Amino acid sequence: MEATMWRNSRNLRDIYSKLSRCVERRSMSNLPESTVYGGPKSKSPWKRVTLRHLEAKYQTNQPITMVTAYDYPSGAHVDRAGIDICLVGDSVGMVVHGHDTTLPVTMEDMLLHCKAVARGADRPLLVGDLPFGSYEQSTQQAVASATRMLKEGGMDAVKMEGGGGSRVQAAKAISEAGIAVMGHVGLTPQAISVLGGFRPQGRNVDSALQVLDHALALQSAGCFSIVLECVPSPIAAAVTSALKIPTIGIGAGPFCSGQVLVYHDLLGMMQHPHFVQVTPKFSKQYASLGNVINDALSQFRDEVISKAFPSPVHTPYRIGEEQQQAFAEALEKRGLHGAAEAVSAAAVKDATAGEPTIKTPLD
């Protein structure tokens, strides 16, 4: 009996070990990369990015790539492209929701978008922006908001703006709570009330030294990386040199440890006047998808009007002749003579159009 129980126990341990090695699941970076939990496996050829991977890249001077995305499709594209970090930014308020600033974005808004991106992006390190009003009141509020980002939003880390005293304390508290924090200095969009708008920073000695001091303070607070936004490249180069953690530039020149752009900006999805207004000058367009989208929508409209769509190719569902006749007879019995005639006319049109390219089985 004891021998049988021991063998059964050993078999269970062997099964557990194999599952642990073979089954991977998208999870937070502070958990093991291989777990016993099931779920869809990533189709990306690359392994999931963790802070250790970013540190290795930084130590070997390999540039770090980051893209800001807001939903499942964009998250999936970022994943497939092999991008290192996917930021779910509060700029979603401007890019997706049509606001003029990021200030209206709420924690609930961010969690909704974080969940969507997390479902699409298995490989990159996921970083969620803490929105305005979610971490300024106290360190307790900051930790609570950051915790929700991981527990509810499925993020690996959080990003917060600013490097002043209270922001540094918040970053330190979040880091000490076991949550990875990315800092953000230079132009901090949540602070436009005091900055006087979306203005570049670090363009005089005092401002440049403040950018440096804020970055150093955030590093001391435990941040694993710093975003440098809209500062002159010599200032970004100096900050990058002074820090011992990676810098991610956005409108900060080529001397940072990595670069980030917004998904919609780099793809050229900006045909509406609002997009032109909120698209930054430093963003490079790698495609002109806005024109492609407009052309496709216009073609759809024209084909619907001309009744070219749907064609037989896009009308795959058929009903058997016997069932069709029975349906027409049932309509006649109800006095729906016009509907019965419509059934017959549609059936004749389907028959003359030929079989659809994609066939579906009849019930």
CA distance 343 to 65: 57
Three-state secondary-structure class, residue 273 = helix
User: What percent of the chain shows pLDDT beyond 70?
Assistant: 80
Q: Full-prediction pTM beyond 0.75?
A: yes
Is the dihedral angle over the CA atoms 287, 85, 194, 147 positive or is it negative?
A: positive
Task: Tally DSSP H helices, then E strands, for the chain.
Answer: 15, 8
User: For residue 66, what is the enclosing H or E element?
Assistant: strand 64-68
CATH superfamily placement of domain 51-289: Phosphoenolpyruvate-binding domains (3.20.20.60)
With 0-12 / 13-18 / 19 or more C-beta atoms within 10 angstroms meaning exposed / middle / buried, residue 284 is exposed
Pair 101, 161: CB distance under 8 Å: no
User: For residue 339, what is the enclosing H or E element?
Assistant: helix 337-353
Pick the residue with more confidence: 24 or 339? 339
Token code pair at residue 309? 């769509």
Q: Select from 260, 261, 280 the least CA-distant residue to 270.
A: 280
Q: Is 161 a catalytic residue?
A: no
Of 116-120, 168-172, 238-242, 293-297, the range with the lowest mean pLDDT is: 293-297
Three-state secondary-structure class, residue 334 = coil
CA distance 233 to 255: 7
Token code pair at residue 84? 């290192």
CA distance 134 to 108: 10
Q: Which residues, in sequence order, are CB contacts of 246 under 8 Å at separation 6+?
A: 54, 57, 58, 64, 224, 225, 226, 256, 257, 258
- Say if residue 39's pLDDT is above 50: no
pLDDT digits (tens, 9 = 90+) for 348-360: 888 887 766 566 5
User: What percent of the chain shows pLDDT beyond 90?
Assistant: 67
Q: Work out the pLDDT band at 177, boundaries 50, 70, 90.
A: very high
Which of the residue ranges 158-167, 192-201, 240-249 has the most confident prediction, judged by mean pLDDT? 240-249
CA distance 182 to 175: 10
- Say if residue 28's pLDDT is above 70: no
Q: Select from 29, 121, 25 the least CA-distant residue to 69.
A: 121
The residue extents of the domains of the chain are: 51-289, 310-352
Q: Work out the pLDDT band at 196, boundaries 50, 70, 90.
A: low
Strand locations in 103-223 (E)? 125-129, 157-159, 180-186
Query: Residue range 329-344: average pLDDT?
Result: 95
Q: 122 φ, ψ to 5°?
A: -90, -30
CA distance 358 to 54: 46
Q: Which residues, in sequence order, are CB contacts of 144 under 8 Å at separation 6+?
A: none
pLDDT given for residue 141 in this prediction: 97
Please identify which of the residues 24, 33, 229, 329 carries the catalytic annotation: 229
